[in-house]
Amino acid sequence: MTTPGDQVLRTPPTLEDYLRLRTTSGLTPRSATQGEGALAGSWAWSVVEHEGRAVAMGRVIGDGGWYFHVADMATLPEHQGRGLGRLVLTDLLAQIAEGAPPDPYVTLMADAPGRRLYASMGFVETAPRSLGMVLVDEPRPG
């Protein structure tokens, strides 16, 4: 549940807030260089500020044509359970609906804490049609 002190912004958080939100909410910590790339290279942002302080965020990366990936969904632990994740995701999906051509392909990686929210908003598992994969080692010439 949002409160009168909450404000939704469609601008990136500060680098400090981005790194803090990731780490404090349980996402993998990132370096300042990685954070700068995330701030500059995103297609859309949704940030909830509570009394002037960033407490929840999410972003969309993609090509702006048909592919859009929701990333960095994070809410500070003391603000979880108030619907801020739903607010951020709803706003990000609205931005895609407003700015993308028809029939966008919207994906996300669903960590356990967010799966119920994502499912409630229409996201489904892609398996067996496709499966998410991650590169864990540097590519080696073949």
Domains of the chain: 6-120 (3.40.630.30)
How would residue 142 be classed by pLDDT, with cut points 50, 70 and 90? low
Residue 140 has pLDDT above 80, yes or no: no
pTM given for the model: 0.92
Beta strands in 10-89 (DSSP E): 44-50, 53-62, 67-75
Stretch 103-126: mean pLDDT: 94
The pLDDT score that the predictor gives to residue 133 is 86
